A and B are shown apart, each in its own frame.
Chain A
Amino acid sequence: MKRARILHNGQQTDVTVNDDHQAVLADGTVINENEAHWLPPCDGKIFVLGLNYADHASELAFSAPEEPLVFLKGPNTLIGHNQKTYRPDNVDYMHYEAELVAIIGKTAKNVSREDAMDYIGGYTVGNDYAIRDYLENYYRPNLRVKSRDTCTPVGPFIIDADEVGDPGNLELKAYINGELKQHGNTKDMIFDIPFLVEYLSAIMTLQPGDMIFTGTPEGLADVKPGDEVVIEVEKVGRLTNTIITEDEYVVSLNA
């Protein structure tokens, strides 16, 4: 089953998604992918892994961490499929990050690695944009880099975990305007999903809907207003969004 949320008649509405990527309402109404206003498919805590692929860590000139580098984002960052992310004026480098997102399915505290997969309800696709200009060495990567409005497209839907099977061997791809820019595989994750569930649930109680963005492989590139960015995770989904200018964003706020 693929579950999503859309804005329908001004209301957040739960839908399922069929094989033609159409949203299906509870009453059977079908809305085409490009006519639906997609919302983030869940809400909850947003955990993001930094440097969780060895190749990406070396790309950024870091050695791989010995403990997961986990940071948090706020709910203000989330947008759904086919929505817009703004690039601030006067920045030099804004990049996407293709990520598999694991969604917690039931309350989890002190869960062992062995049992961890029982607590994963499903998966979705995430794009963890960052603006490198704003990096400082305090709580790095700081919220200004990573927790900005519109900076985290997620979706289009959550696919049930049992339909994906092993999340440890999925191709990840990012395209800018149709050109393949990033290509990796979740088998190269340093800390895998069972480890991350054990690690996080030892610190705190996880709730259904909490999201774990599991990190990105190498292949970063700058994105500019007008670019269409597509993130694909094998067996999970395909998430599209476009980059707009800061002015366009401000206008949309006041619309």
Chain B
Amino acid sequence: MRHSRILQAGVACDQTEEHSNTLIADQDTQWLPATTGTVLGIALNHADLREQMAEAFNEKPHVNPPKTPVLHIKTDNTHIGNGAAIPAPDDGETIYAGPSLGIVIGQQATRVSAADALDYVKGYTVVNEVSLAENSFYRPAVKAKCRDGFCPIGPWVVDAADVKEPEALQIATYVNGEMQHCTTTAKLHYGIAEIVEYVSSFITLQPGDLLIAGTPQRTEKLALKAGDTVAIEIEQIGRLENPVVAEQEIAQ
């Protein structure tokens, strides 16, 4: 089954339907973010990115490689649904797509072991963890990652039972219909169970909370500008597509 939230006559409605592998994009549906809880991202969790950063990890200001998963918060103003506009900053600063698997929590999780962790996962969704350039991982990335609309989530959550091998899913990113980037959840440095174990060791997770498993390096391939349409497609999960619109245009 898959679960989505849509806006009908101004009211948020939950919708559950049989999950099929066909990727449906209903033009008339106004999608809401597929989850409603806290959204935490796991930074530096993509094997290629860690390789790229290997030298920088040993230099100032980092000095040492990260000992633990590196978490950040995507505030509620960032959450948008499939089809909603990602606002591009008016100063023209480049923004980057952040394709990732989203892990959705199904029941309250405190101090969960890796062995039990998957019992607490309701399902999976597609996340576009949009960011300004990641020039540094030293200070919390509020400015780069918490702008309005910088976290499309959806279109839906697919039940974990319907997803085979969640750590071997292809993730493709399309800009204006052309595939620009392709990666896989096999590149996650910390796997799904380890992430849930670590986070729940000091944060009680609630049903509906979302963990962004890991984004790749933000190369020019993932750069977005006003006028673009970006789509992230994860096999077995779905396709999350959003237009990029100048902030000024949205304000009007």
Q: Which residues on A are within 8 Å of B, measured CB to CB?
A: 45, 47, 69-76, 88, 109, 134, 136-144, 147-149, 203-205, 207, 250, 253
Taking the closest CB of chain B, its distance from the CB of A71, in whole angstroms, is 4
Beta-carbon contacts under 8 Å, B155-214 to A: 202-206
A136 near B66 (CB under 8 angstroms)? yes
Beta-carbon contacts under 8 Å, B118-137 to A: 137
In this assembly, does B111 line the interface, its C-beta being within 8 Å of a C-beta of chain A?
yes
Cα distance, A70 to B149, chains bound together (Å)? 19
Beta-carbon contacts under 8 Å, B55-91 to A: 61-64, 66-68, 70-73, 75-78
Cα distance, A75 to B142, chains bound together (Å)? 16
Closest to B202 in A: A148
A203 near B141 (CB under 8 angstroms)? no
Taking the closest CB of chain B, its distance from the CB of A22, in whole angstroms, is 31
Cα distance, A138 to B44, chains bound together (Å)? 10
**CB-defined contacts of A250 to chain B, threshold 8 Å:** 111
In this assembly, does B147 line the interface, its C-beta being within 8 Å of a C-beta of chain A?
yes
B204 near A138 (CB under 8 angstroms)? no
A205 near B38 (CB under 8 angstroms)? no
A75 near B38 (CB under 8 angstroms)? yes
A137 near B138 (CB under 8 angstroms)? yes
Given A75-B38, A76-B203, A138-B62, 11 more A-B residue pairs with CB atoms under 8 Å apart are A47-B142, A72-B140, A137-B63, A138-B43, A140-B138, A144-B71, A147-B73, A147-B202, A149-B204, A203-B147, A204-B147
A136 near B204 (CB under 8 angstroms)? no
A139 near B75 (CB under 8 angstroms)? no
Main secondary structure of the interface of B (DSSP, over half): loop
**CB-defined contacts of B40 to chain A, threshold 8 Å:** 74, 143
Task: Determine the interface band of chain B, counting residues with CB < 8 A from chain A.
Answer: 35 or more
B70 near A142 (CB under 8 angstroms)? yes
B203 near A143 (CB under 8 angstroms)? yes
Asked, given contacts A137-B62, A149-B110, whether A71 binds B43 with beta carbons under 8 Å apart, the answer is no
Cα distance, A128 to B206, chains bound together (Å)? 22
Taking the closest CB of chain B, its distance from the CB of A245, in whole angstroms, is 15
**CB-defined contacts of B147 to chain A, threshold 8 Å:** 203-204
A74 near B38 (CB under 8 angstroms)? yes
Cα distance, A170 to B138, chains bound together (Å)? 32
**CB-defined contacts of A144 to chain B, threshold 8 Å:** 68, 71, 202
In this assembly, does B224 line the interface, its C-beta being within 8 Å of a C-beta of chain A?
no
A73, A74, A136, A207 interface centre (most CB from chain B within 10 Å): A74
Cα distance, A147 to B203, chains bound together (Å)? 7
B140 near A71 (CB under 8 angstroms)? yes
Taking the closest CB of chain B, its distance from the CB of A78, in whole angstroms, is 12
Cα distance, A140 to B68, chains bound together (Å)? 13
Cα distance, A69 to B142, chains bound together (Å)? 9
A-B contact pairs, 5 of them (CB 8 A): A139-B137, A139-B141, A142-B71, A204-B78, A207-B76
Cα distance, A73 to B142, chains bound together (Å)? 11
**CB-defined contacts of A70 to chain B, threshold 8 Å:** 140, 142
Closest to A151 in B: B202
Cα distance, A101 to B121, chains bound together (Å)? 35
**CB-defined contacts of A142 to chain B, threshold 8 Å:** 68, 70-71
Asked, given contacts A138-B43, A204-B148, whether A143 binds B71 with beta carbons under 8 Å apart, the answer is yes
**CB-defined contacts of B137 to chain A, threshold 8 Å:** 138-139
B66 near A76 (CB under 8 angstroms)? no
A139 near B204 (CB under 8 angstroms)? no
B142 near A71 (CB under 8 angstroms)? yes
Asked, given contacts A74-B40, A138-B62, A147-B203, whether A45 binds B70 with beta carbons under 8 Å apart, the answer is no
B73's partner among A74, A88, A203, A204 (CB-CB below 8 A) is A74
